[in-house]
Amino acid sequence: MLNSVELTKDVKLEQLSRVLDSHALHSSESLKAFLRFVVIKALDDQDVSLKEYTIATEVFGRHRNYDPQNDSIVRVQASRLRSKLQEYYKTEGKRDKIIIKLPKGGYLPTFSYAPIIDEVIEPVPVIDIAPKEVETRPTKSQQPTFQNIGLKLAVGAVAILALFFAATTFYYRSEATKAGTPLSSSASESIPLQAVAPLWNDFLKPSEPILVSFSNTKFEGIAETGMKLLNPMSHAAKSDAPKNGAENSGAITEHYTGIGEVMGVYALADFFSRARYPFKVKRSLLLPWDDLKSNNIVILGSSAENYLLRDLPQQQDFVFGVFKDENGVMSFGLSNTKPQAGELRYYFAKQEGPSRSQISEDYALISLLKGLDANHRLMILGGITTYGTQAAAEYVSKPEHIKELIAHLNLSSDPNAPKLPAYYQVLIKVKVNGGVPVQLSYVTHHVL
C-alpha cells in the first residue's frame, strides 16, 4: 500500500520541525542547529554547502583556518545526530509518516516514507494451570554470589543516583520557571532587587532562558606523552596541523576547562537560580554563531580560550593579546587601545614564582556588547588568567560588587534611579591568594 503523503518541501519542513521539537533533541541545541542547517541547505538545492568545512565554520563557529584533520567536531556531532534520529524514530516518532536520515559518509539528509507495518494479532497463549512440583531449592546457577550481589547493589546505586539527579534537575527547572519574570519581587527575599536590577533587568528576558557558555580549550597530545595548548594566542594565525616529528601523539582533546571558568559557572548558576530565572549551559566549542544571534549570552573566558571571540565585529577599547611587558618579555595580557588619564597602556598578571599557579594579582574584563542582532546582548567575563575569569563572574553575580559596579557606571544624577550605558567595558583588579580570588576592586571603565 502506498503512502498518501506527498514529499513536498512543506511536508519535509513540517517533519523537520517535529523532530526539532522532540524530547530526543530538547537539550541538544548544537544538534538542532546542525540538523536545521543541513536540511535547509538540502531543500534549497545548496548541496555544495554541505561540506565539513562549511558546517564547522557556519554551525559550530570554527575559525576560517579550520582543519578537519585536527578537529573532528563535525564528524563527532554527525554521529551523535544519527544516534538521536534513531532514538527519535524508535520512540516518540515511531508513528511518523516521514523519516529523516543522515547517511554515513556525508552530510546530505534524505527523506523517505516510513514503512507501513500491519498490526499482527498474536494468539493468546494457553496456560497450563495443572499443579506441578516446584523445586524451591535454588540451582547452582541461581545461588547468590558476591559478584551477583555486588552487581545488583551497583545497579541499584546507579538507579538511585539517576533518580536523584533527575529529581534535582526537575526541581531547579521548576523553580527557575515559576516566576517567569527576572529579578521579580518573588525573588527579592534572596536577591535585593534594587541593588541588581539596573545591571541585569535589560539583559534578561522572560521569554527565553539565558545562555551561559564556558571556555573549553583544545590540547594536542595525551597525558602519558605530554600535552600542549593548541592554537594559543601567540600563533593564532598559524596552522593547527601537527608537525612531522612532533613529540606529541597528534590526538586532539577538547574537554579541558579552567578552574576559574568552572567556579564562574557556579556563581552565575547560583545567581540565576536565586533570581528564579531559567538558564542553560554550553561549552564554547559547541557554540554556533546562530546562538550568538538568537540568545542573550554570558561567555566565560577570554579570547585566548574562546576562539570565536576573536572574530566578533564589535569594536572594543580593551582587547586581550600577547604584548611586550615591562621586562621586554612577550606575555599574555590586556591592551588599552584608548588610554585615558591615569590609565595604563597594558595590564599584565603578576606571578610570584615559576608556576602559573603562583599568580598573586590578575586583571579581568567585564564587557557588555551588542549581540549579533539588535534584540540581544553579549556579556563577556574574562581574565588574563583563569582566576580573573572567576573574579569577573563573582563581580556581576554578588550584590555587594554589583552595587559598586552600578555606582561607577551610573549616568543619572539621581542615585536612587541609576541608569547605565547600553554598552561598556569594566576593568577590575584581582588579588589572588592560593589560587583563590580574595579581593576584587574596580579600576576603570569605558563606555562603548
80 CB burial (10 A radius; 0-12, 13-18, 19+): middle
pLDDT at residue 278 above 70? yes
Residue 164 confidence (pLDDT): 36
Q: What is the mean pLDDT of residues 29-49?
A: 86
Q: Which domain holds residue 26?
A: 9-113
Retrieve residue 170's grid coordinates: 526537575
Distance of alpha carbon 431 from alpha carbon 28, whole angstroms: 38
Residues written for the chain: 448
Q: Provide the pLDDT confidence category of residue 192 given band limits of 50, 70 and 90.
A: low
Residue 405 confidence (pLDDT): 92
Same domain, 303 and 401: yes
What is the average pLDDT value for the chain, to the nearest integer? 77
Same domain, 267 and 361: yes
Q: Which of the pair, 3 or 107, is modelled with greater confidence?
A: 107
Beta-bridged to residue 427, according to DSSP, are 365, 444
Same domain, 193 and 75: no
Q: Which of the pair, 8 or 249, is modelled with greater confidence?
A: 8
Residue 117 confidence (pLDDT): 55
Same domain, 272 and 412: yes
Residue 142 confidence (pLDDT): 43
- 239, part of any domain: no
Q: What is the mean pLDDT of residues 167-179?
A: 39
Residue 434 confidence (pLDDT): 83
Last-in-domain residue among 96, 113, 130: 113
- 19, part of any domain: yes
- 67, 65, 80, 89: which is closest to 29 by C-alpha? 80
* Cβ atoms of residues 308 and 61 within 8 Å: yes
pLDDT at residue 403 above 50? yes
Residue-wise pLDDT for 64-102, tens only, equals 888 888 888 999 999 999 999 999 999 999 999 999 999
Residue 345 confidence (pLDDT): 95
Residue 292 confidence (pLDDT): 74
pLDDT at residue 355 above 80? no
- 119, part of any domain: no
- 322, part of any domain: yes
pLDDT at residue 171 above 60? no
- 109, part of any domain: yes
Name the residue type at position 228.
Answer: K
Same domain, 105 and 197: no
Same domain, 95 and 212: no
Same domain, 269 and 361: yes
Percent of the chain at pLDDT > 90 equals 30
- 435, part of any domain: yes
Q: Which of the pair, 50 or 241, is modelled with greater confidence?
A: 50
Q: What is the DSSP string of 122-156?
A: PPPPPP---------SPPTTTS--HHHHHHHHHHH
- 236, part of any domain: no
pTM: 0.57
Residue-wise pLDDT for 310-320, tens only, equals 878 888 999 99
Residue 58 confidence (pLDDT): 85
Q: Provide the pLDDT confidence category of residue 232 given band limits of 50, 70 and 90.
A: low
pLDDT at residue 19 above 50? yes
Retrieve residue 132's grid coordinates: 506441578
pLDDT at residue 156 above 50? no
- 146, part of any domain: no
Q: Which residue has the cell 608556576?
A: 355
Q: Which of the pair, 299 or 376, is modelled with greater confidence?
A: 299
Q: Which of the pair, 416 or 139, is modelled with greater confidence?
A: 416
Q: What end-to-end distance do the CA atoms of the chain give, in Å?
A: 65
Last-in-domain residue among 78, 96, 113: 113
Retrieve residue 315's grid coordinates: 569594536
Last-in-domain residue among 52, 81, 113: 113
- Could you give the number of structural domains in the chain? 2
Same domain, 67 and 196: no
239-245: which pairs have CB atoms within 8 A and are 24 or more residues apart? Answer: 239/65, 239/67, 240/65, 240/67, 240/70, 240/71, 241/67, 241/69, 241/70, 242/70
Same domain, 91 and 204: no
Residue 299 confidence (pLDDT): 92
Same domain, 82 and 191: no
Same domain, 106 and 208: no
Same domain, 195 and 291: yes
Q: Provide the pLDDT confidence category of residue 347 given band limits of 50, 70 and 90.
A: very high
Q: Which of the pair, 289 or 189, is modelled with greater confidence?
A: 289
We report the CATH number of the domain holding residue 415 as 3.30.379.10
Q: Which of the pair, 209 or 55, is modelled with greater confidence?
A: 55
* DSSP classification of residue 31: H
Percent of the chain at pLDDT > 70 equals 75
pLDDT at residue 51 above 60? yes
